[in-house]
Chains A and B, each alone.
Chain A
Amino acid sequence: NAGVTQTPKFQVLKTGQSMTLQCAQDMNHNSMYWYRQDPGMGLRLIYYSASEGTTDKGEVPNGYNVSRLNKREFSLRLESAAPSQTSVYFCASRIGPTTDYGYTFGSGTRLTVV
């Protein structure tokens, strides 16, 4: 089925460990995004890639890095995980950066940092 695929679905890390969250879409979308969701905080933009070859910071980029590997894939890396990064992470994509049609979201990665 077409859509956005995120891996892993669940992860537990120890403080200081690193990991990469993977995201891939097969809808030929140009723009891809990483959000985090915390209780009562809604969805906050971490990083985004308006098109292949570009990445930009969102509202809460500290502690994260991203790579737009190709048009399909956009990964999020935590270099040294902290308990404050415990959250649900969503990847999303849409056809273009200035398209007003909605996002398609992945199913999320539930990350716990202990």
Chain B
Amino acid sequence: GQSLEQPSEVTAVEGAIVQINCTYQTSGFYGLSWYQQHDGGAPTFLSYNALDGLEETGRFSSFLSRSDSYGYLLLQELQMKDSASYFCAVRRDDKIIFGKGTRLHILP
């Protein structure tokens, strides 16, 4: 089986940097994904890490440490439109299992 743990809520200030952590326990680990979901919307794919290290895509970066079963999503230069829920996810065989999500609140 597998489980993913991430904080339920995080609050940050506009223009700042925030890190959302995810720890996982899973058999047959293939990689860690991140999804963003705005209120009332559908989840959208942000990033995927199969190997250790940092992957950067614009203001967003994602990190993975396979030895620590840990990853994080880093959001820089926060904007109000980044207010959303963020989910980490792992693949088990032919399906993807999601964490319960982190609600990101951004203060002006």
Q: Which residues of A contact B (CB under 8 A)?
A: 31, 33, 35, 40-45, 48, 50, 58-59, 90, 97-98, 100-108
Task: Decide: A103 and B94 in contact? CB cutoff 8 A.
Answer: no
Task: Decide: B42 and A105 in contact? CB cutoff 8 A.
Answer: yes
Number of interface residues of B (CB under 8 A): 24
Task: Decide: B45 and A45 in contact? CB cutoff 8 A.
Answer: no
| Complex-state Cα separation, A102 to B100, whole angstroms | 17
Closest residue of B by beta carbon distance from A108? B42
Which residues of chain B are near A42, meaning CB under 8 Å? 87, 98-101
B17 within 8 A of A: no
Closest residue of B by beta carbon distance from A98? B94
A-contact 0/1 string along B30-61, CB 8 Å cutoff: 11010100000111111010100000000000
17 contacts between A and B (CB under 8 A): A31-B94, A33-B95, A33-B96, A40-B8, A43-B87, A45-B96, A45-B97, A59-B97, A98-B94, A100-B48, A100-B50, A101-B48, A102-B33, A102-B45, A102-B46, A104-B45, A105-B43
Q: Within B66-108, which residues are at the interface with A (CB < 8 Å)?
A: 87, 91, 93-101
Closest residue of A by beta carbon distance from B47? A102
Query: Contacts A90-B43, A102-B45, A107-B42 hold; do A43 and B94 have CB atoms under 8 A apart?
Result: no
Which residues of chain B are near A90, meaning CB under 8 Å? 42-43
Closest residue of B by beta carbon distance from A105? B42
Query: Contacts A90-B43, A101-B48, A104-B45 hold; do A58 and B98 have CB atoms under 8 A apart?
Result: no
| Complex-state Cα separation, A48 to B91, whole angstroms | 13
Which residues of chain A are near B99, meaning CB under 8 Å? 42
Which residues of chain B are near A107, meaning CB under 8 Å? 41-42
Closest residue of A by beta carbon distance from B87? A42
